[in-house]
Structure 1
Amino acid sequence: MNIVPSRIHDQVSRVDRNYSLAIGIAAGLTAIWSLYRVFWLFYAAATFSTVGWSPVSLVVPLVLWGVIGVTSGLVAVVFLQRYAKEP
């Protein structure tokens, strides 16, 4: 079963294996970095709430880094699967 839609799969399969490895690694690092940012956003929200500030202002960065993380994670999976496939 293929989780990637066929139109995206056709586009990704046109990319060279070496480039797909580089794109997959870069996207994976971006996903890890956004996970790190989300962790520190929760830490900042907990810290701000102890001094009386409202952590509601951190909702926008949380949503932004969450979307970036999920998107880059999916891109990493797709391109690394392309790399793992035999030429």
Structure 2
Amino acid sequence: MKLVPAALEPHINRVDRQRSLMIGISTGLLAFWSAYRVLWSLYLSLTYDFLFGSLVFQIALWSVVGVAAAIASAAFIGRYLATASTDTPSEHS
């Protein structure tokens, strides 16, 4: 199953292997931070009913940022792992 659109795949494949690992880890951390922000905002909105109106925009914004970061992280980590299997030297006896 492909997460990345076909138009973006050649651009991701041009990124260096080590840089794709750094980008994948960074965007993965951003996705976790976004999930934390969404869960914390939902907790606040359920605990204090009067805050829900002011948190709707932040919940929507961090949800979109988190989903985009998760897709980017999966694409770059997948690129790193795909090249790792082809770059390993075979053992000669």
1:24 aligns to 2:24 (yes or no): yes
Q: TM-score, structure 1 length as denominator? A: 0.89
Give the distance between the partners of 1:45 and 1:8, measured in 2 at CA.
37
Identity %: 40
Question: CA–CA distance in 2 between the matches of 1:76 and 1:54?
Answer: 32
TM-score normalised according to structure 2 size: 0.83
* 1:68 corresponding residue in structure 2: 65
Alignment of 1:43-82 (within 5 A): 43-49=43-49, 53-82=50-79
Give the match's secondary structure for 2:4. coil
Equivalent residues, number: 84
The one-letter code sitting in structure 1 at the alignment partner of 2:20 is S
Larger Rg: 2
Letter of the 1:15 counterpart: V
Q: Which runs of 4+ in 1 moved over 6 A?
A: none
How big is each residue's C-alpha offset from its partner over 1:43-69, in whole Å with a ceiling of 9 and x where there is no partner?
A: 1101211xxx25121100000000000
**5+ residue gaps in structure 2?**
88-93
The answer on 1:14 being equivalent to 2:7 is: no
Instruction: Mark the CA change 1:44 to 1:6 in structure 2 (over 3 Å): closer, same or farther.
Output: same
